[in-house]
Amino acid sequence: MGEAGKWRRKRAVGPLVYRQSLATRITHWVWAICLFFLLLSGLQIFNAHPTLYVGEQSGFEFDNSVLAIGAVNSPDGPRGQTRIFPGALTIPSYRDLGTGRVVHFFFGWVFLGTMLVWFVASLVQGHLRRDIVPGVADLKAAPGDLVDHARFRLHNNRTYGPVQKITYFIVLFVLFPLIVLTGLSMSPGLNAAWPWMLDLFGGRQTARTLHFGAMVLLVLFFVVHIVMVLAAGPVNELRSMVTGWYRLSAGHPKLKGDKP
């Protein structure tokens, strides 16, 4: 062994395990692409009328707006237009509601189809039961695990931890269905076929506001998700979501099917 080899310290690591199935990986990246286009084309649509309401109606004669982004008139003239979403951050980057809607609906349907594929594959492969639906033990361990996450003390284990399970469960079974159903309930065609859907969400404007709220929560999830991927070891995390193989922390025994 040469000098370099003699002094090279071997890092203590656990085995390489096959953690993410092909279905999990493909659906994950299709979602990421869809949500990118949905967010930016959604902002294009939102900018056509950047005000949110509750209830059935919207318009000048109603006083039911809950969020408005635009210019206000003051005695000194129009003032204070807070532009939270700059125009260039939309798809297309210029004002074009028609194209924005085409892009939004296309990726919306791809997103819904991917959700169905993920659900069936996860049910059949046991991914739902094993990694996603939190059990009583996960709920009990969640507060301690949350403190660990806040201190960036992350563990590379064989399955998701309690906070991961609960977060992914909320994203997959609350936010994804909510954003799709509120989106569908704004479609005039579906309103005619299933009028109960609009009633479920308390009217078209409430559906629109809930759709927007779910988007904000998904963006928040995305930011924390990326920070956690970076903190947990981005190369290992990304490899697992691309190839399926994940390196465990030191101390995990090597089981059948694992690689050294």
Closest CA to 145 of 126, 176, 167, 118: 167
If binding is defined by CB under 6 A, does position 131 make contact with ligand HEM? Answer: yes
If binding is defined by CB under 6 A, does position 245 make contact with ligand HEM? Answer: no
- Write the CB contacts of 214 (distance below 8 Å, at least 6 apart in sequence): 175, 178, 179, 182
d(CA 2, CA 90): 57
Closer residue to ligand HEM, CB minimum distance, 168 or 212: 168
27-66 mask for ligand HEM (x: CB under 6 A)?
-x--xx--x-------------------------------
> Which one of 46-54, 83-91, 103-111, 236-244 is the stretch in contact with ligand HEM (CB under 6 A)?
236-244
Count of CB atoms within 10 A of residue 245's CB? 15
d(CA 182, CA 206): 9
Among 225, 233, 249, 252, binds ligand HEM (CB under 6 A): 225
d(CA 179, CA 166): 18
- For the CB of residue 11, give the shortest distance to ligand HEM in the complex, in Å: 20
C-beta separation of 104 from 38 below 8 A: yes
Mapping DSSP onto H, E and C, the string for 7-71 reads HCCCCCCCCEEECCCHHHHHHHHHHHHHHHHHHHHHHHHHHHCCEEECCCCCCCCCCCEEEECCC
Closer residue to ligand HEM, CB minimum distance, 71 or 238: 238
- For the CB of residue 171, give the shortest distance to ligand HEM in the complex, in Å: 5
**55 alpha carbon, distance to own chain's centre:** 26
**140 alpha carbon, distance to own chain's centre:** 25
Of residues 168-197, which lie at the interface with ligand HEM (CB under 6 A)? 168, 171-172
d(CA 41, CA 168): 25
If binding is defined by CB under 6 A, does position 91 make contact with ligand HEM? Answer: no
Closer residue to ligand HEM, CB minimum distance, 16 or 198: 16
> Which one of 8-16, 83-91, 189-197, 233-241 is the stretch in contact with ligand HEM (CB under 6 A)?
233-241
Among 226, 227, 231, 250, binds ligand HEM (CB under 6 A): 226
> Which one of 64-72, 87-95, 99-107, 220-228 is the stretch in contact with ligand HEM (CB under 6 A)?
220-228
- For the CB of residue 253, give the shortest distance to ligand HEM in the complex, in Å: 19
- For the CB of residue 188, give the shortest distance to ligand HEM in the complex, in Å: 28
Residues at the interface with ligand HEM (CB under 6 A): 24, 28, 31-32, 35, 131, 168, 171-172, 222, 225-226, 229, 237-238, 240-241
